[in-house]
Amino acid sequence: MFRLLAVDDEAINLELLRATLESMDCTVDPVSDPRQVVDKLQAATYDLILLDRMMPALDGLTLLKQLKQQEQWRQIPVIMQTAATRPDQVKEGLEAGAHYYLTKPFEPAALRILVRSVLADVAERRRLLESCRSEELLRTTLLLATSGMFRFRTLEQARALATSLAMLCPDSQRALLGLSELLINAIEHGNLGIGYKTKDALIREDRWVQEIERRYQLPELRDRFAQVTLEREDGLIRFVIQDDGEGFDWTPYQMLDPERAFDPHGRGIAMARMFGFDQLEYSGTGNTVTACFRLPGDKAGKAEDGNR
């Protein structure tokens, strides 16, 4: 069961949200006064926040900035509901931390698709974090490694590998966010060749899982693998991720784009770049990406941070 916090100064909008989402295995807690949100978050754990942008007591953008400054709430996904849909307005919301957008007045089907997609990510991350906490012996063993190479083919293998490798990093929760996004991308978009528009259509039609399974069996795709190379040196832990796909133009996906803000996916690379790693760089045709973490005691990294 998921718990959602809906923030809107209009009671009718709160009731529409509750009625639309009540059949999706989630509880919706309504808040009509945004000044009460902090108290709500301190009293309970929420998986998703639905936030109206324009409210008289405290506008949603200001509230969002306040929440994202707090470590304990920074990872909660936020869907911004708004009629302010100019590119500059959407960009402002993305920069504040609203990585999902919904136009008001919303279509119930569009809301359900977006919420289902977000909560699927939340559920998977919750499962992976639980795995991290229960594998201390594996972590102790992996910490002895200075280098290594791991091959994987399926999404399940990618998730398991991301979980294990994240335990090597100073902040395993942050590392898990970035590694899971990059390893899953290597399978979905790399080896299986599923493009942005195709994935969008599959998610909206709820056929994503079936299409993944179908492509696994195609003769031209079933022998493809991806790999992660691990190196620990010079105060860094470095992951080089490669797939057997044709590559892609990664440059548009490095930042959150207002034109894609209303889509139910497409934030993985930007999220990994912004929150997952200390360094992230694509090379070649786009089927190789290098991600790095600074290790504790890295004086160069600390000096660099101090000069920012």
The pLDDT confidence band at residue 139, using thresholds 50, 70 and 90, is low
Taking the C-alpha atoms of residue 265 and residue 49, their distance in angstroms, rounded to an integer, is: 17
Task: Name the domain count of the chain.
Answer: 2
In this prediction, residue 140 carries a pLDDT of 67
- Structure confidence at residue 131 (pLDDT): 66
User: 58 and 195 share a domain?
Assistant: no
Q: How confident is the model at residue 50, as a pLDDT? A: 95
CA atoms of 163 and 179, how far apart (whole Å) = 8
Q: What is the pLDDT of residue 263?
A: 83
In a domain, 125, yes or no: no
Give me the pLDDT at residue 302, please: 40
Are 156 and 285 in a shared domain? yes
- In this structure, the strands spanning 288-294 and 279-283 are antiparallel
- Please check whether residues 81 and 35 belong to one and the same domain: yes
Residue with the larger pLDDT of the pair 64 and 170: 64
Q: Is the pTM of this model over 0.85?
A: no
Residue 136: per-residue pLDDT: 62
C-beta separation of 168 from 277 below 8 A: no
Residues 166 and 209 in one domain: yes
SS3 226: strand
* Domain-ending residue, one of 69, 88, 119: 119
Comparing 18 with 297, which gets the higher pLDDT?
Answer: 18
Which of 61, 93, 119 is where one domain is finished? 119
Is there a domain that residue 128 lies in? no
The pLDDT of residue 303 is above 70: no
Q: What CATH number corresponds to the domain at position 225?
A: 3.30.565.10
Same-domain status, 94 and 6: yes
The verdict on 219 and 250 lying in the same domain is yes
Closest CA to 125 of 191, 187, 172: 172
Q: 199 in a domain, yes or no?
A: yes
Question: 207, 176 in Cβ contact below 8 A?
Answer: no
Domain boundary, last residue among 119, 147, 170:
119
| Residues 198 and 115 reside in one and the same domain | no
**Percentage with pLDDT > 70 across the chain:** 92
Residues 302, 238 share a domain? yes
Report yes or no on 228 lying in a domain: yes
Residue 141: per-residue pLDDT: 64
DSSP state at residue 72: T
149 strand-pairing partners:
229
What CATH number did the domain enclosing 94 receive?
3.40.50.2300
Q: Are residues 112 and 179 in the same domain?
A: no
Do residue 56 and residue 173 come from a single domain?
A: no
User: In the prediction, which pLDDT does 194 show?
Assistant: 93
Is 237 within a domain? yes
Question: DSSP code of 160?
Answer: H
**Does the residue 269 lie in any domain?**
yes
Domain span at residue 41 reads 2-119
Over residues 120-147, mean pLDDT: 72
- pLDDT given at position 301: 42
CA distance 163 to 143: 14
Is 64 in contact with 94 (CB distance < 8 Å)?
Answer: no
Q: Are residues 12 and 114 in the same domain?
A: yes
Which position has the higher pLDDT, 300 or 170? 170
Please tell me the predicted confidence (pLDDT) of residue 125: 78
pLDDT in tens, 198-234: 998 998 888 988 999 999 999 999 999 999 999 988 8
Is 193 contained in some domain?
yes
> pLDDT above 90 covers what percent of the chain?
41
